Each structure stands twice: as structure tokens, then as C-alpha cells.
Amino acid sequence: MFATLSDRLATTFKNIRGKGRLTDADIDATAREIRIALLEADVALPVVREFVARVKERARGEEVSQALNPAQQIIKIVNDELITILGGETRRLRYAKTGPTVIMLAGLQGAGKTTLAAKLALWLKEQGKAPLLVAADLQRPNAVNQLQVNGERVNVPVFAPQPGNGVGDPVAVAREAVEEAKRKLHDVVIVDTAGRLGIDEELMKQAADIKAAVNPDEVLFVVDAMIGQDAVNTAQAFLDGVGYDGVVLTKLDGDARGGAALSIVQITGKPVMFASNGEKMTDFDLFHPDRMAGRILDMGDMLTLIEQAEKTFDQAQAQQDAAKIATGEFTLEDFLKQMQQLQKLGSMSKLMGMLPGMGQFREQLDNFDDREIDRIKAIIQSMTPAERANPKILDGSRRARIAKGSGRQVSDVNQLIQRFTEASKMMKQLASGGGMPGMPGAPGAGFGKRAGAKQVAQKKKGKGARKSGNPAKAAQQAKADAAKKPAAANPFGVPGGEEIDYEKAAAELNLPSDFSKFLK
């Protein structure tokens, strides 16, 4: 979503790195590039002007002029201002003190409200809540059926007394849903409302009537992040006509320039509360301004990555795998389980994009084929349990059978086995504290703590004792050292200083009588 903006800002900061002092001309040039980057990302012009003005003001202040690294200080300022225009702090849901918490979703048709309702229900369910989905979109064809299907996918009940498709009263459905939630002890009610292709009086009136009927604790405006400046205009019009408490951005995984996300908060004054960034029901989470700013500036988003991993991976299983790695018992069966868990986190390109500095590899990440993991799984699943436990038994005929069973080439099987073997050795060495092989200064690499101490001892030993400056004392010291020094041994192990009787030694070897001709 923010690829264009990230690349442009990265180029801008690259031009000022290495400068010990920034002049006014440098600051003006940097501000100009930032302005162009934001405008190209489709950020609203008033937001761009305010953003650039604050950056320039702070860049000319003491925090940059007295900084040891002015370029890094500029990046910090831009990061701080990005966090500000994205909302500053994470805004969380407000829950009702008594009775069920009512959340009303509103927005234009095609923004993704119905799918997002199910994603929000699943997210609330993971938080320990008991949500109820309400099909109050009775206008769009099959909207009720779509919500019921999505409700089954996330295992959340759906209240749908009316068939929809233009039949029924959405205000009455919303009102009855609250009573239904009280009877069946649901603590959260999510009302999915109808949308329009554009803002009109009928849309505004229906949304206002539903809001008055259920008195929602939260009204969330769902907006498609891919429609650019129109998202800001629509958000402002809906705010003036009905009002809402927060914004939900959908389709953040698209290829649009993403200016809407940077503009809505500043234009409307309402925070972005949630973000949907994929097609899966789990591709939904709280919107964290600081983490989004980090992604834009290619600083990564390790906290989100860790949170997703904690939700997906089994901690007990992870500890067992770590123990197997340390003892060298990690098998292809364990590797297969890890691959399956990894796929639950989402696409590899998305995961790798959360790591700091991965913006420079964006082209490779975009071209990464997630089906490669499926191909690896197919190869491993084509093996017998004995072959997964001990890949050393995989001879030529077995590898040919595995390749045929997985629809791959024998070379693909060979590469997988080779990489797995090398990775297993490396992981075992790391787990045992051996360090990475061949890395200077690392334990086990010949330059570790013990090796270093040994080298220092040898170095000290090689220096010898200090010689006296007095010639007489120096001669006396040399004589004493010579007396202490043991005689050098010869290559045959005979102590130095002894006379060797070579004829006697040759006789003791009992050589053949005709062997003497080879000694001439």
C-alpha cells in the first residue's frame, strides 16, 4: 500500500546521510522531496502543507543542529510527525458498562462492510467476547446470505429475521437484534448496514434511523483505502450527515498509494481504529499509528509479527522443537509441521515485509511465489515416516519415487535434502552455543573466548622474559636460560645431546640382507 511513499522517502533520506551538518538548503531540499512523496501518495494537500511545515520547523531547531547525526534526527522527526497524522495513539473499543455493546458499521457499497463484520466478530471472539452478527443490510442482493456464510466461517451466530434483497425493515431488525442479544447473553452486537454507491439522502436517513434505534456505543465508518481522495470526501460527508466514532480501513493490502490513511485522521479528526489487510478472516487487527509509521519508513513492524506468531504457534510445540534441534533429533516431519504453522501467519512476502530494511528487496518479495512452500510440503508428504525421520536412507530409487509422487524433479528433492541437512547442522551448532561456523569472534569458530585466551597465552609465552640493559647481567641471564632449556629432540624421538650409533640402530631394525642396495 505504501510502497511508493516508502521508496521515495528512502531515497530522500539517503541523500542526507553522512552529512555532519545540515544547511538550510539541505533542509529545504529534503522538505521539497517529502512534499512530492506525500502528494504522489495521494495525501490531501492541506495535510501535506501542515506536515511539511512542522518538519521544517523542527528540522531548523536545536534538536537537529545539536545532534551528533542530523540525518537520523530528521528521520526521527518525520517518524514522529507520521505518527501524529495517523492518530498518535492506538484507539481501542469502548465497551458498554451494562447490557450488550452495540457496534454499528456504516459506509459506501463495496467498501467491504459485510466481510469486515465477520472479521471483527472473530477478533472479538479471540478477545473472549460472545458477539452476535446482525444482517441489517436488506437492500443489496444476497447481503444477508453473505453475512450468514461468513458467520459460519468464523463460528459466530447471525441474527437475520428478514430475507433481504429489498424486503424488510432494517431499523426493526437492528432493534430486535439488541433484544435477542440480551436473551441469549451476547455481550457484543455488530450491526451490518446497507451502503450506496455514493452519499445520498436515503443512505443518510437510514443510517441515522438505525443509530437512533439502537443507540450504538461505537459507530465505525468503513472506508476502502484504495479509492484515494474520494475516501476523505466520503468520510467527511458521512461525518457531517450522521456522525461516527472511528474509521476502519479495508484493502490495505492493495496496490493503491495509500494517501487516504494519512489524510482521514487530520481531515475528520476521527481516529483509524482497525485495519483489514487481506482476504483471510484473520487479516484484521487494531490500527497502531506508530507501527504503520515504522512500515512507511522501512523500519519494520516486529511487534505485529511477534503478536501474530504468538497467536499462531504452539509454545509447547516450539519448546519441543528447540530441544530436538539442540540434540540433533529435528526431522523432516518436524520441519513439515513448522511449515504448516508458518502458512497460518499469511504470505511470506507480507511477513518478510515486516522486517526492518526489507524495502530494498521489495521487488524480490513481490515476485516471491508462496506456492513454493506447497511444493516443499508435497515433497515431504511424499516420503514415508521412516524417510522423514532419517533422510540418510534416501537413495536414488527412493528420491525418484518421491519426485514422481510430488510432481517435482529429482533435483528438487536433492536440493531440499541438502538444504535441510545444512540447516540442521547450523541450528544444532547455534543451539549448543557453538555460534555460526566461520564467523570471527563467535564461539566455536576458532576465535571464541577459549581460543582467544589460548592465543593470548601463546602470545605472552612467545614474548619471553624481559632482558636486562646491563651487558653483564644479560649474559648471566642468557647462560641461566640456556641451562634451563631442554635439549631439542630430533625427528626420531631421541633426546638431544646423545650420540647415535647408526650401525647398531640399523642392526636392530632386522632389515633383509639385500636391503642395503636401496640405501646406496
Please provide the DSSP assignment of 303-323 as one string: HHHHHHHHHHS-HHHHHHHHH
Q: Are residues 265 and 411 in the same domain?
A: no
How does pLDDT run across 422-433, given as a tens digit for each residue? 877 777 776 666
Cell 502458512: give the residue: 343
Q: Are residues 290 and 328 in the same domain?
A: no
pLDDT for 506? 54
Q: Are residues 367 and 226 in the same domain?
A: no
Is the full-model pTM beyond 0.75? no
pLDDT for 188? 92
Judge contact between 113 and 192, C-beta under 8 A.
Answer: yes
Q: Are residues 187 and 277 in the same domain?
A: yes
Q: How many domains does the chain have?
A: 3
Q: Are residues 143 and 263 in the same domain?
A: yes
pLDDT for 142? 87
Q: Is residue 454 part of a domain?
A: no
pLDDT for 490? 47
Q: Is residue 68 part of a domain?
A: yes
Considering only CA atoms, which of 161, 163, 227 is closest in space to residue 198? Answer: 227
Q: Is residue 369 part of a domain?
A: yes
d(CA 406, CA 382): 6
pLDDT for 76? 83
Q: Is residue 182 part of a domain?
A: yes
pLDDT for 166? 77
- Of 53, 85, 117, the last residue of a domain is 85
- Of 363, 397, 431, the last residue of a domain is 431
Known binding-site residues equal: 107-114, 192-196, 250-253
Cell 511477513: give the residue: 351
What range does the domain containing 399 cover?
308-431
Q: Is residue 456 part of a domain?
A: no
d(CA 220, CA 207): 12
- Of 405, 431, 457, the last residue of a domain is 431
Q: Is residue 462 part of a domain?
A: no
How does pLDDT run across 19-34, given as a tens digit for each residue? 667 778 888 888 888 8
Q: Are residues 203 and 281 in the same domain?
A: yes
Backbone angles phi, psi at 208, to 5 degrees: -65, -35
pLDDT for 306? 66
Q: Is residue 459 part of a domain?
A: no
Q: In what order do the strands lie in the sheet with 131-136?
A: 158-159, 131-136, 188-193, 101-106, 218-224, 246-250, 272-276, 284-286
Cell 490513511: give the residue: 261
Q: Are residues 223 and 370 in the same domain?
A: no
Known binding-site residues for GTP equal: 107-114, 192-196, 250-253
d(CA 260, CA 82): 13
pLDDT for 63? 65
CATH code (residue 347): 1.10.260.30
Q: Is residue 132 part of a domain?
A: yes
Q: Are residues 155 and 255 in the same domain?
A: yes
Q: Are residues 32 and 153 in the same domain?
A: no
Cα Dmax for the chain: 123
Q: Are residues 158 and 106 in the same domain?
A: yes
Judge contact between 328 and 430, C-beta under 8 A.
Answer: no
pLDDT for 271? 86
What distances in angstroms separate CA 313 from CA 31, 137, 286, 317, 321, one per listed residue? Answer: 44, 37, 20, 8, 12
- In which element (H, E) is residue 134 found? strand 131-136
d(CA 298, CA 493): 66
CA 469 from centre of chain: 66
Q: Are residues 313 and 295 in the same domain?
A: no
CATH code (residue 62): 1.20.120.140
The tens place of each residue's pLDDT in the chain, 520 residues long, gives 566 677 777 777 777 776 667 778 888 888 888 888 888 777 888 888 888 888 888 888 766 666 557 777 778 888 888 888 888 888 888 898 887 999 999 888 878 889 999 999 999 998 889 999 999 888 888 889 999 999 999 999 999 888 878 788 889 999 999 999 999 999 999 999 888 776 777 778 888 888 888 889 999 998 887 776 677 778 888 888 888 888 888 887 765 566 766 788 888 888 888 888 878 888 888 888 888 777 777 665 566 666 666 666 666 666 676 666 666 677 888 888 777 777 676 666 666 666 665 555 556 666 666 677 888 888 988 999 888 888 888 888 999 999 999 888 899 889 888 888 887 777 777 666 655 444 444 443 343 444 444 444 444 444 455 555 566 666 667 666 665 555 444 444 444 444 555 556 555 555 555 555 545 4
Q: Are residues 275 and 316 in the same domain?
A: no
CATH code (residue 277): 3.40.50.300
